[in-house]
Structures are given as structure tokens and as C-alpha cells.
Chains A and B, each alone.
Chain A
Amino acid sequence: MKTTTIIAAGLATLATGASAETLTVYTYDSFVAEWGPGPMIEEAFEAQCDGCDLEFVAVGDGAEILSRLQLEGTRTEADVVLGLDSNLTAAARDTKLFAQHGVTDPQLDLPIEWDDDMFLPFDWGYFAFVYDKTRVEDVPASLEELAASDLTVVIQDPRSSTPGLGLMLWVKSVFGAEAQGYWEDLSDNILTVTKGWSEAYGMFTEGEADMVLSYTTSPAYHLIAEDDDTKAAAAFENGHYLQIEVAGKVASTEQDALADQFLDFMLTDGFQSAIPTTNWMYPAKTPRDGLPDGFDRLHVPDTALVYLGSEAQDIRDEALEEWRTGLSQ
């Protein structure tokens, strides 16, 4: 786990009995990494919340947060959950573990309308396969070309990872009833299926695979943080699936006011300006200073694919069955 979490945990232990209020936020691994948004956001929030203690707890990848919360039920220590996505909100709502966020008319800069009284977006992006320009010459221009190529890819498990879930729905939205056949075709390209995004991306940067399922915004990281323009996202004619990452307040929280304060804070510059260069996603609300240089050089898909409302939940089981069956052959 990450240093911040441990420091936070240590502080929390020291502070037991003291009056400092702790807000526990469950999130995904890469969010609390040293290079992730966690440390910066923690500092910014604690500076304005009057002696409170913001504790991020990493519980795997995005989809694992939800299963974790279901396992813990109302006994959970989480006050806020940050890192579910638009494909999981309906399932999350069904758990009855979440409360309404109470933010009326949030000013958002999303490519679609957002109307959800329980989950509030904090960033968004398009899924894409990222590759190394120096190693991949014939870049596939569609999902079909990728499956027909002999490139190796690393993808994520849709049951534990939101990018993995996104890809599954991406394929479903493109191929419909033929999705299982597509997975069978793609099967021989898949080097491995990881539980989370972090390990998949790590394997790609270590050179274990030619491509990795990530985001159109991922090359910005290499461009801005590493001054390396060799990484790019493959533009697919099929269109790219849209992901909106959300946060929600846990109904059983004892830190109601603090949780509300955090959700309000989430859509201010203190949070949003950290997103582009730490989480490498588009902020849900563009900060006053706009997007950093480098983001203008990213591929922006012509067609955004997305399942809205409960659509993703309705087809999840069927799509998962096709995914498991197609890939296990």
C-alpha cells in the first residue's frame, strides 16, 4: 500500500481519542500512489477542513471497491467511496449502501448530460489501447484489426477493474450479439488479464506487452511527466467507450457533514486541477486555468460510446458470460 495511506493510518492511530475527525475514503490503488492525485488532494482538503483528517484507503481497482463495500455492508468504515464509474452506478444504487449527495445543479464539463442524485462525477476519459510508437509499426485502426493482428495486449478483469468493465461494454456496444465471437478472436492476443489497471499499465511500461487497455489521456502522462512522446493511443474507427468516474457518500457514515464538505470540495479547483496531471483524466469541471499543455495533442475520438442509466447493469451479466466464455476457449 501507499505511503500516504500508512502515514494517514499512523496519524489516525495516534489521534484515536483525540477530537480530530477522520473522513475515510475508499478508492482505487493508483489514486493513492505517490504520483497519483491522493497526496495533493489530501493536503488541499485538510488545509480547509479545520483539523480534520482525510484518510484514503486503497482497496484494489474501481470495481473491487463496490464488492468490498458489499462484503462489509453497513459495518464499513468508509464514509465516501471514490472511483466507481458510470457503468457501476446502477449496481451501486441497488446495494442501498449509498446516500444522496445533496449537490444541486453541479456545474460539470462532461461530454454528456449528468443527472444522478447519488453519484457525483470527478473526472472522465475515453478508453483506448495505448502503444509504444517505437515498437508497434502497424497500428490497428479498429477492434477487428487488433484481434486480427499478432500484437500482444494486457487487459483487465471486468469484475475487479473499471477499465476492464469498460472494455467489456465497449466490445458489447460494438459487436452486440457477436461479442463472444470477438473475445474468441482477441483471445490469442491477450498476454494476460490483470485484476487492476495499475499492474496492467506497469506490465506495458516494463515492455511485457505491445499494448495495454488504458485511456486516450494516458500518453499525456509520458508527454508531460516524462517528456517522452513515444506513447500514443490507437484511434479506433468503432468509436471509443466513455468512462465517467464518480464518488458517492456512504449511507452509514457518521461523518455526514464532513462527507458533504468533501463532495463539495471535489468539484472545486483544489481537487479538479490535480486531476489532469496526476490521474491523467479529463477533470469533471475544467479548472480556471484550463487543461495543461500536452492535453491538446491527445487524440479525441469522433464517436463516444456509452451505456447510460441502468443499461450497463442490465447487460453486464450477459456480457460477462460472453467475456468469460470467449476468453476461456
Chain B
Amino acid sequence: MAHGPQPVMSMSGRVVAAGAVALAVVLALTLGTIVAVFVRAEGVGGFDPADWAALRFTVTQATLSAALSVALAIPVARAIARRRFVGRGALVMLLGAPFILPVIVAVFGLISVFGRSGWVSQSLMAFGYEPISIYGFHGVIIAHVFFNLPLATRLVLQGWLAIPGERFRLAAALGFTSRDIARHLERPMLREVLPGAFLVIFLLCLTSFAVALALGGGPRATTIELAIYEAFRLDFDLGKAALLACVQFGLGAAVAIVALRVALPSGFGGGLDRAVQRWDQRGPLRTALDASWIALAALFLILPILAIAFDGIGALATLPSQVWTSAARSLGVAAVSVIVTLLLALPIAAWSVTSGSKLVEGLGTLTIVASPLIIGMGLFIVINPFLDPFALALPVTALVNAIMSLPFALRALVPALSQIETQYGRLADSLGMSGTARLRRLWLPRLARPLGFSAGLAGALSLGDLGVIALFASPDTPTLPLQIFRLLTSYRMDDAAGAALVLLALSLAVFWLLDRGGRVNVDG
């Protein structure tokens, strides 16, 4: 053993190699595909007025969606933070649900509640008011707030609960009024949390596709991502598609860089089940106000989900067989996607932690601003000369889904792995534990939890994805979300409702099983 440190060196060599391969795959798929589209495009046309309108709409809706989500999250999170009530834990858990809720399922639920024949309009009409419409600008906003209000609430709630209870105690002892508390404790916290929350949601809304596809109202309510789809699928204008993709990528990257600088709060932390003792917030009026905020937010989240269950349960028994075959197909895609996500995320996380490079993680997270449609399109162009891309629609979907889940997996894995290395890294080094031994005996058992979480998230996101598959699914092999979209657009509402319920149940089950699986293993 003349070369004592060598195992460690070769270990890190392997980590670098594996990480570099995984990162190369990610870069090839995100940036390489844009290049492929550009190369294939015959000349790049300019931006016409309708493209400017799409850009304007994208930025406006993302700004408004993020602003509304964050603004509404403040009173809701404040109420949840300072009140104890039955079902509080369940409500906090429910706030995590929309993130893994398939967009098309949520859209279905929102139409049932907010559509012209929906519950809200019916009640409005019963009182002699005009019905509201879910289509166009405000439909897109409602859907985005539905998806992101819970996320914003969780982020702001974390901020509230991060204020030590002792400070509120001290404030009470010093006779602070609510206004004083707001000035000295709450506003500084909000100033820290809100910009990050706003930017995350802005980013998520920026690349919105399925919502705009289902609820957008033509050229007036077209996002850039939807315009990319139309340029490719309807006009076969690759130059336009690539140009739009670059604009979206640039915009997203700019926002992402700003977001990284304002220190993003992490959305997945635990410890949200503790109510802060507040001595200044007693009294029936304040309690009632908080209660109504909580009730409104809960209704806004629960009603569409209830509507799906309510509309769907009757149709379950008579669902056309193709719903079940497409469900099986979707499960297959999700399984592949989970495996690919982990195969990419683990090496990148390992490289990022062992090298201490923020850049590695940053590049791995790049896909959050990439357009899944452009990735799909690029793959289409690359594959087309050799194989039938339509025959490969499902593998391509699985791959693109995996890439899109990568940022979330990295966010879960990198901090966990970095903690493991801090705690056990030296011990493992001194034992000469390297390579697969280190992976199997140290990392995997201790990473079970974030791995399970990442797998669950990747599985649920892939199951519910309606993006690439819309680009080039063959007519007879739709995934379940595409099947639902087709049922919706041919107005077979009963079947669509039943299929939406199936997808909802599958997504929740897949997330729960994989996430739970990670938790069981860690104890074993």
C-alpha cells in the first residue's frame, strides 16, 4: 500500500467520469437539441407581431400568476402558522399535492368548478349574476394560481415557522402590538422569502404548455411554449420554433440567475406541523379572519379535486378499454423515466458534492428553463433520418420527462449527499471505502429517503406529463394524459372525468409508494 490515497483518487476519478457523462447527456439534450433544430431550420425568420404578443402574454401571465400566488400565500400561510385546528397537518400535506397533480387532471377539475356550466357559474347565475369563463387569460391565471398558491404558501409558511417562537414570546412580553410584530419580525422574514418564492413560480409559469393548450384562447392567450408547439406541429416552421426556444431559454436563464442570487428557499423541508404561539392574535374577529383565509384556500384547492372524484367515479365502470391500455402505457413510461432520472441525478449530485462545484449542480438544473418541446423536437430531427420517430414517441417521452425531473431530484439529493460526505466522508476515506462499495454501503442506504422522494416525484411528473407526447404520439399509442386531452376535446366528458380520476389516483399512488419506499428502507 505504497500509494495510500490512491483508492480515493480513483474513486473521485470515477465520480468525475460518471458525473461528466451524465452532465454531457443533460447538456446534449438541452442545448444540443436547440442546435439541432437550428441546423435543420432553413434560415431564421424574424419575430412577427403575433410572436411579440406571445412573449408579452407569457411574461404578463407569469408575472401575474406569481404575484397573485405569493400575495395570497401571505395571509393563508400566516393563518396556518398561528392557528391550531383539526386537519391542519392534512392541509399542509394537501399543499404538496398540486405539484404532483397532472395538469390535464387539474384543468378538468377547474373546468368543472369554474367553467360556464361549472359550480361557481351556476351559483352566480342562481343569484342573477353573469357566469364566468375559464377560457383565455383569466383561465390560465386561475390554473397557475391553483398550481402555485400551495407552493407559495409552503414557502412562506416555512419562513414564518423559521422565526423562533421565543421571539414572539419576547414580543408579547414587551407588549408589542400586531403592527410592531409585523414590522420587527414578519416583514423582514417576508422580504427574505417572497422574492425567491416569486421567482420560482415565475419560472414555473414561464414554460407553461398544457395549461395554455387546454385553456388558452388562441393567439391572444398563447405562451411561447405553445407557440413553439404550433410552429413545429402546425406550420413545420423549425426556424421559428428554434428562435422562440432561444428567447424562452434566455428569458428563463436570466430569471434563474437572478433567482439563484436571491437565495431560493427550499420547498421541501419538513417541520411545518407546529403552530406558533401568538399572544397578539387572540379574539374572535382575528380568529374568524384567519379561519376564512384557511377555508377559502382549502376550498380553492379541494373543490377541483373533489370535482374530479365526483364526476369521475360514475364513469369508472364503463371506461373504454383504451383508457386502461393507455394507463398501462403511462406507467411504463413513468417507470423508465424514474430510472433515467436517478441514473442522471446520482452521478451529477456525486460530482457536484465531491468537487464542491456549484456550477455542476447549476448546469444540471439548467433543464428547468429548457423547453421540453424543443428537446423532443431536436430528438425528432436527430432520429428521423434513421428511425421512425413516431414509433419512438414513448421512449423519447420517458427520456424528456426524466430530464425535466432532474432539477427537483438534484435539489433533494445534493444537500443530503453533502451532509453524508461531511459526516462520514473521512471515515469512509480512512477505511479505503471507494467506488461501488462506497456507493452501496454508504451513499445508497443513507440516500434512501431523498432517492425515494426524487423517484416518487419523477414518477408522478412523468405520469401526468402532457408535453412531448402531444408533439409526436402516434394516434394509436396515447399516454393517459393525452387520452384524457383527446376525450376532453371530443367532449366525451364522462369518459374524460373517469380517466382523469384514474390518472389522479395513479399519480398519487406512484408518488406515495416510491416516497414511502425510501422511508422504509432507511430504517432497515
Contact A208 B486 (CB under 8 A): no
The verdict on A202 contacting chain B, using a C-beta distance below 8 Å, is: yes
Asked whether A325 lies within 8 Å of B50 as measured between CB atoms, the reply is yes
Are A193 and B489 interface neighbours, CB within 8 A? no
Closest CB of chain A to B493's CB: distance in Å?
8
B236 near A191 (CB under 8 angstroms)?
no
Name 19 extra pairs, CB < 8 A, besides A29-B489, A329-B220: A5-B475, A5-B476, A6-B322, A29-B486, A59-B475, A64-B233, A64-B234, A67-B234, A71-B390, A157-B234, A190-B220, A192-B135, A193-B219, A198-B489, A206-B117, A208-B133, A208-B135, A325-B49, A325-B219
The docked-state distance in angstroms from the alpha carbon of A59 to that of B490 is: 12
Q: Is A1 an interface residue (CB 8 A)?
A: yes
A23 within 8 A of B: no
**A192 CA to B212 CA in the complex, in Å?**
11
Q: Would you call B53 and A328 a contact (CB within 8 A)? A: yes
Q: Mark B482-500, 1 if CB is under 8 A from A, else 0.
A: 0100101111010000000
Tell yes or no: B523 within 8 A of A by CB.
no
8 contacts across the A-B interface (CB closer than 8 A):
A1-B322, A1-B486, A5-B475, A58-B475, A152-B133, A193-B219, A323-B219, A325-B50
How many contacting A-B pairs (Cβ < 8 A)? 118
B320 beta carbon closer than 8 Å to chain A: yes
**Given A6-B321, A58-B475, A321-B48, CB of A327 within 8 Å of CB of B490:** no
Chain B residues, CB < 8 A from A328 = 49-50, 53-54, 219-220, 222
Instruction: Mark out the residues of chain A between 25 and 63 whose CB falls within 8 Å of any chain B CB in the assembled complex.
Output: 29-30, 33, 57-59, 63
Given contacts A6-B322, A63-B234, whether A327 and B135 have CB atoms under 8 Å apart is: no
- Tell me the nearest residue of chain A to B116, going by C-beta: A208
B166 within 8 A of A: no
Q: Is the CB of A198 within 8 A of B218?
A: no
In the assembled complex, A252 has its CB within 8 A of some CB on chain B:
no
Closest to B491 in A: A202
Do A160 and B234 touch (CB < 8 A)? yes
Contact (Cβ within 8 A) A1 B133: no
Q: Are B49 and A1 in contact (CB under 8 A)?
A: no
For B221, the closest partner residue in chain A by CB is A192
List which B180-219 residues lie within 8 A (CB) of chain A.
216-219
Contacts of A102 in B (CB 8 A): none
Given known A71-B236, A192-B136, contact A327–B491 (CB-CB < 8 A)? no
Assembled-state Cα–Cα distance A168/B48 (Å) = 18
For the complex formed, measure the closest distance between the CB of B498 and the CB atoms of chain A, giving whole angstroms. Answer: 15
Also in contact, A193 and B321, with CB within 8 A (given A5-B475, A30-B490, A208-B135):
no
What is the bound-complex CA distance between A195 and B54, given in angstroms? 17
B217 touches A6 (CB 8 A): no
Tell me which residues across on chain B come within 8 A of A314, comparing CB atoms: none
A100 to chain B, nearest CB (A): 25
**Smallest Cβ-Cβ distance to A13: which chain B residue:** B476
- In the bound complex, what is the Cα–Cα distance between A194 and B217 (angstroms)? 7
Chain B nearest CB, measured from A327 CB (Å): 4
Q: Sorted from nearest, which 4 A-B pairs have the closest CB atoms?
A: A193-B218, A202-B491, A328-B53, A324-B50
**Which B residues, 217 to 260, have Cβ-Cβ distances below 8 Å to chain A?**
217-222, 230, 233-236
B148 CB to closest chain A CB, in angstroms? 23
Using Cβ atoms and an 8 Å threshold, which residues of chain B touch A160?
234
Please name all residues of chain B whose beta carbon is closer than 8 Å to the beta carbon of A203 when the two chains form the complex: 491
Is A199 positioned at the interface, with any CB of B under 8 Å from its CB? yes
A117 to chain B, nearest CB (A): 26
Report how many residues on chain B are interfacial, defined by Cβ distance under 8 Å.
39
Q: Which of B135, B234, B320 contacts A6 (CB 8 A)?
A: B320
Chain A: minimal CB distance from B254 (Å)? 24
- Residues on A with C-beta less than 8 A from B321 are 6
Chain B interface residues toward A at CB < 8 A: 48-50, 53-54, 115-117, 133, 135-136, 216-222, 230, 233-236, 320-322, 388, 390, 472, 475-476, 478, 483, 486, 488-491, 493
Shortest Cβ gap from B447 to chain A (Å): 42
A206–B50 touching, CB < 8 Å: no
Measured between alpha carbons, how far is A251 from B154 in the docked complex, in Å? 58
Contact present for A208 and B117 (CB under 8 Å): yes
Residue of B nearest to A193 (CB): B218
Residues of A participating in the B interface, judged by any CB pair closer than 8 Å: 1-3, 5-6, 9, 29-30, 33, 57-59, 63-64, 67, 70-72, 75, 152, 155, 157, 159-160, 187, 190-196, 198-199, 201-203, 205-208, 321, 323-325, 327-329
Smallest beta-carbon distance B494→chain A, Å? 13
CA distance A155 to B219 in the complex (A): 12
Q: Which residues of A contact B230 (CB under 8 A)?
A: 157, 159
B490 proximity list for chain A (CB < 8 A): 2, 29-30, 33, 198-199, 202
Given A157-B234, A327-B218, A71–B491 Cβ distance below 8 Å? no
Nearest Cβ in chain A — how far from B450, in angstroms? 39
Residues from chain A with a CB closer than 8 A to the CB of B234 are: 63-64, 67, 157, 159-160
Task: Return A65 CB to nearest CB of chain B, in Å.
Answer: 11
CA distance A321 to B472 in the complex (A): 25
Across-interface contacts of B483 in A (CB, < 8 A):
1
Nearest A residue (CB) for B471: A71
Chain B residues, CB < 8 A from A325: 48-50, 53, 219
Q: Which residues of A contact B217 (CB under 8 A)?
A: 190-193
By a CB distance below 8 angstroms, the chain B residues around A323 are 219
Name the A residues within 8 Å of B493 (CB-CB).
Answer: 206
Chain B residues lying within 8 Å of A199, measured Cβ to Cβ, are 488-491
Partner of A208, one of B115, B218, B320, B476: B115
Tell me whether B491 and A206 are in contact (CB under 8 A).
Answer: yes
Residues of chain A with a CB closer than 8 A to B49's CB:
324-325, 328-329
CA distance A75 to B391 in the complex (A): 11
Q: What's the nearest-Cβ distance from chain A to residue B483, in Å? A: 7
Contact of B220 among A57, A157, A201, A327 (CB under 8 A): A327
B478 vs chain A, min Cβ distance (A)? 7
Give complex CA distance A208, B491 in Å.
12
Beyond A29-B489, A157-B234, whether A207 also contacts B117 by CB under 8 A is yes
B36 to chain A, nearest CB (A): 16
A residues near B136, Cβ cutoff 8 Å: 191-192
- Give the residue of B53, B133, B135, B236 whose beta carbon is less than 8 angstroms from that of A67: B236
Which residue, A5, A70, A199, has most C-beta atoms of chain B within 10 A?
A199
Are B219 and A194 closer than 8 Å at their CB atoms?
no
Contacts of B488 in A (CB 8 A): 199
Whether B219 contacts A9 by the Cβ 8 Å rule is no
Q: Which residue of A lies closest to B49 (CB)?
A: A325
Q: Could you say which of B133, B322, B388 contacts A191, with CB atoms under 8 Å apart?
A: B133
Instruction: Establish whether residues A192 and B218, one from each chain, have CB atoms under 8 Å apart when the complex forms.
Output: yes
B489 engages A195 (CB within 8 Å): yes
Instruction: State in angstroms the CA–CA spacing of A63 and B216 once bound together.
Output: 20
Looking across the interface, which residue of chain A has its beta carbon closest to that of B325? A6
Q: Which residue of A lies closest to B216 (CB)?
A: A192
Determine which residue in B116, B390, B490 has the highest number of CB atoms from chain A within 10 A of its CB, and name it: B490
Q: Known: A157-B218, A192-B217, A208-B135. Contact between A71 and B472, CB under 8 A? A: yes
Across the interface, B116 reaches (CB within 8 A) one of A63, A207, A327, A329, namely A207
Residue of B nearest to A188 (CB): B220
From B54, B115, B390, give the contact of A72 (CB < 8 A).
B390
Contacts of A159 in B (CB 8 A): 230, 234-235
By a CB distance below 8 angstroms, the chain B residues around A321 are 48, 50
Minimum Cβ distance to chain B for residue A199 (Å):
4
Closest Cβ of chain A: how far from B241's Cβ, in Å?
Answer: 13
Residues of B within 8 A of A205 (CB): 491
In the complex, what distance in Å separates the CA atom of A191 from the CA atom of B115?
12
